[in-house]
Structure formats: C-alpha cells, structure tokens
Structure 1
Amino acid sequence: MTQAIIAPTKKEEPLLFEPLTWREFKAVEQLLDRPGYRLSFLDGILEIRRMPGEPHETIKKRIAALVELYLLMAGYDFIPTGSMTIENEATAVKREADESYKLSPDRSRPDLVIEVVFTSGGINKLEAYKRLKIPEVWFWEDGVLQVYHLRPEEDGLRYEKISSSEELQGIDLDLLIRCIGMTNHVEAVKTFQQSLQK
C-alpha cells in the first residue's frame, strides 16, 4: 500500500475589512455572494477567503467520507450538514465550516465542525465557533489533525485541545490521519473500513 501526504499548496491570506456593523456586513454579504468565495464575520471584521481549489476539496471530501463511514458503522443517527452557514447576530458571528455534522436529528446546530486549512491569517475560527457553541472543532493542516472540545468555565466557555474526540468516541484518529494522507481515495476508504470491521 502506497501512502503519500497530499502536498500543501502555497497559503493565501484572506482579505479583511473592518470595522463593520452586523447590518453593514449583511449588506456587503448580499453584494458579494459569488461562487468560489467564503465570507466570515467576527467582532466587526469581514473576512473574504477564496476557496483554494482541488487539494482543499480532496482533503475535505476524504475526511467527510471517512467520518461518515465511521458514523454509519458506529450506529450514529447523524445528519451531515456540510458547509452550512451558522450565524448569530447577538454575538456578531458568521461561519461556514468545510464539513459539519449533527450527531442526532434533534440538534439545532452541528455537534462537530471540520476545517481544512490551506490559508493563513484571518479571524479567530475557534472564537467564532465558541460564540456559536459548537461542541467540537477539528482542524486539519499539513497532515496534522487538531481536535478541540468546548468546556464550561467560570466566566463562560473555552476550547480545550484534546488528543481524542469526545463527540466521536472510539474513532482512531491516528488511523484517520493515515487514511486521509493516502494517495488513492478508494484504497483509503477501504483501509479505514477494514480496520473498523476488526
């Protein structure tokens, strides 16, 4: 079995515009509704990112295929919500994850969001997800998967970096990372499936 990490592309920085009110942001958002761009908002800062193309989409879809296979085989009654828009005017935040999942049908927002990072800079994604109260956030960047879980604390909420998922208990993250980095998509999915069947 041949493995190769998908080569990262040169990282682009997003365009940032500030200060904007929520109302101004919503007006600009309607004007800039174009394919190939993603808009985010936090603390009066509008972030415009160009979607990075095939390498990003390949990794994103690979992770989605593996996570969904795990969810099916582990018996979750889940809803894949993809890159749905999650926003909250009261906390002045809007985000669209690369992939997201409700881990039971009665949820109002995703339990897990996944970000595939091919750009640098921009708004603080963890802060945005904290305000949206997303329980778990995964970041894949340059072959490394970082997992954060939302924790209550005296003055609010904070994300804690963890070594294993609390939302997808039992998922082997080392195996997941290895399969994400494989050259052949079908081989990666089969390898992951065979391991789950053991």
Structure 2
Amino acid sequence: MVLTMMLTEQRADRVVLYNIDWQQFENILMDLGQTRSARIAYDNGALEIMSPLSEHEYYKENIGTAIQDIAEVLERDYESLGSTTWRKQAKMAGLEPDNCFYFQNESKIRGKLDYDLNYDPPPDLALEIDITSKLIDRFPIYGRLGIPELWCYDEGKLKIYLLQADETYQESPFSLVFPDLPVQEIPEVINQYRLEGRRKIRQEIRKWANSNTQNRVLEI
C-alpha cells in the first residue's frame, strides 16, 4: 500500500502521521489487523499509532478490572469491550480507548458482536491511561464520538470528565456510572496492595466497594 503522508512527530513508543484521509485511515486499520498491541487515534487527518508500555498496561488492566468488580458488587449489568476501534467518518474521528464499558445502554447492545456508531449508542464510559503523554489530544475525539464519561489515569491520579453539550469535557467530582462511589480512590487501593498481587487487589476493591455502598445506605 502506497500512502502520501508526512511524518512529523515520533517517540520510541509512538508515531504521528499527518495528511491521512479517511480511506487511508481505514486501509491502515485493515493492514494493522485485529491481533496487535498497537493502538490508534485519528483526528481529522492526524493519526497516532502507539505501542503501550508495561506500566501503562498494568494500570489499564487493574483499573479496568476494578470497574468490572465494582459492577459485580453493585449487581449492575455491564459490557466491557476493551480497546475496540470506535470511529465516525462524518466526524473525522476514531480511536481505541484503553478500555470501554456499557452500563446505562448495556441492554441496547446486549449480545451484539459488531458495532456501528451510526446506529448504536457509544460506550457509556471510556478509560484512558497516561493521557498527557499522548501526542494527539484525545478529548476532542471522544467528544465528537459522543462518549458521555471519561476516566483518565495520569501520574497516580484518576480524574473523571463528563461530556458537555458543546462536545467538550468538564472535570467532575462524581461519576455518572457510579455516582455514589468516590472512584478517585481506586488507584490508592491498587497501589496499596500492588506488591501482594492481582487477586489481593481484586479482593480489596470489592471490599472497598461494599464498604462505601454500605456507608451510603447508612447516610440515607
């Protein structure tokens, strides 16, 4: 495949290509295939291809698993679709989050194996790790794709952002998915038990969710 593109930015674990039209973007996705570790973000002609580092993957996996464990504790129906490629040609936007979930709209996509944002609702929640290290700003892409809520983990902190009417995001003290839980504390639980392994972390996340849920009931 011959492409007309200009390489302007590059790091050891990522590269950004410019002047990529939509068909070229689709062709690159096809060439990269589904079984790959690299992830992409496309914003109106600019394409970033990133190979995640081990620390990035550690927090992606643990925070993503924590979201599922909390949903189990709260008996919430959900779907986890990992780094699915989401794209809208009309918005010239596409990306692969570190993880994404359906909660509020889970019943609308239940059992589906293929998704099209022209007909299906977007995920209710997306997770991004180390967002400040990305060469292409993810927020405008997520906004044009219509993702209602973003969790961004960076430098030890987890921040919540909610989509506004103008397709921008505003930081929020609470989550739409788990409004009664102080989800910003999740990295603290993970780091506290990091040296004791994944199973211990999952046990403590479930205890944390149970404890905060019980405390909320007592307050009411």
Mark yes or no: TM-score above 0.5. yes
Matched, 1:181 2:191: yes
Q: 1:133 to 1:143 in 2, by over 3 A?
A: same
Deviations 1:79-105 (A, max 9, x none): 111111111011111111111100022
Structure 2: gaps of 5 or more residues: 1-10, 110-120, 212-220
* Aligned positions, number: 184
Shift of 1:56: 2.0
**Root mean square deviation, CA, Å:** 2.0
2:140 aligns with one of 127, 147, 155:
127
Give the structure 2 partner of residue 19 of structure 1.
19
1:101, 1:113 within 8 Å by CA — same for their partners in 2? yes
Query: 2-side partners of 1:149 and 1:174: how far apart?
Result: 14
Larger-gyration structure (1/2):
2
Partner SS state of residue 105, structure 1: helix
2:131, 2:152 within 8 Å by CA — same for their partners in 1? no
Give the structure 1 partner of residue 180 of structure 2.
170
Deviations 1:72-131 (A, max 9, x none): 222211111111111101111111111110002215321000011277242110111000
Partner SS state of residue 157, structure 1: coil
Query: 2-side partners of 1:162 and 1:169: how far apart?
Result: 11
Give the structure 2 partner of residue 141 of structure 1.
154
Q: 1:53-132 residue pairs with structure 2 within 5 A?
A: 54-103=54-103, 104-106=106-108, 108-117=121-130, 120-132=133-145
Q: Quick one: which amino acid aligns to residue 89 of structure 2?
A: E
Partner SS state of residue 90, structure 1: helix
Give the structure 1 partner of residue 113 of structure 2.
none
Query: 1-side partners of 2:32 and 2:68: how far apart?
Result: 32
Structure 1: gaps of 5 or more residues: 1-10
Query: 1-side partners of 2:42 and 2:71: how far apart?
Result: 31
Query: 1-side partners of 2:189 and 2:52: how far apart?
Result: 23
The structure, 1 or 2, with the larger RCO (C-alpha pairs under 8 Å, 6+ apart) is: 1
Query: 2-side partners of 1:116 and 1:180: how far apart?
Result: 14
Give the structure 2 partner of residue 5 of structure 1.
none
Shift of 1:149: 0.2
Shift of 1:196: 2.5
Partner SS state of residue 28, structure 1: helix
Q: 1:37 to 1:195 in 2, by over 3 A?
A: closer
Deviations 1:24-63 (A, max 9, x none): 22223323337231222111001111121x3222211111
Give the structure 2 partner of residue 35 of structure 1.
36
Give the structure 2 partner of residue 161 of structure 1.
171
Query: 2-side partners of 1:21 and 1:118: how far apart?
Result: 24
Percent same amino acid at aligned positions?
A: 22
Query: 1-side partners of 2:48 and 2:184: how far apart?
Result: 32
Shift of 1:13: 6.0
Q: Quick one: which amino acid aligns to residue 173 of structure 1?
A: V
Query: 2-side partners of 1:40 and 1:59: how far apart?
Result: 20
Give the structure 1 partner of residue 163 of structure 2.
150
Higher helix share: 2
Deviations 1:5-34 (A, max 9, x none): xxxxxx956311111211122223323337
Give the structure 1 partner of residue 112 of structure 2.
none
Give the structure 1 partner of residue 4 of structure 2.
none
Q: 1:88 to 1:172 in 2, by over 3 A?
A: same
